[in-house]
Amino acid sequence: MRSFIIAVKSGITDFTSRYHDFIFKPAEAEMKTPSSFIRSFFNTYKQPPSKKSLCLMVDEYDNFANSILSQNLELFRPIAGTGGFLKVSMQP
């Protein structure tokens, strides 16, 4: 899960480096899980003066989930099952 948080942080850092007027400074608690980190980013983006749409593309979601499933069913359940960070972070 740590590597997923790092990947999310990298993407958000890239976004903020391209759009200098967007300021995102999440609290430490918001960076503990991928879903809370992404949710914090979206909530910040929704606030004025942002009037632009934001499109999020998730690539290889199924490959990632299938890889975990094929290697470790006990790990897959808490990650992709009900309430798991992968399921929660990918819901609208």
* Average pLDDT, rounded, for the chain: 77
Taking only the tens place, the pLDDT of each residue in 46-84 is: 877 767 777 766 666 667 777 777 887 887 777 777 777
pLDDT of residue 50: 67
Q: How many CB atoms neighbour CB 37 within 10 A?
A: 19
Q: Is this model's pTM higher than 0.85 or not? A: no
Domain borders along the chain are 1-50, 57-92
Maximum separation of any 2 CA atoms in the chain, in Å: 45
pLDDT of residue 87: 63
Q: Are 16 and 54 in contact (CB under 8 A)?
A: no
Tokens matching residue 67: 């890889």
User: Averaged over 24-44, what is the pLDDT?
Assistant: 84
Percent of the chain at pLDDT above 70?
A: 80
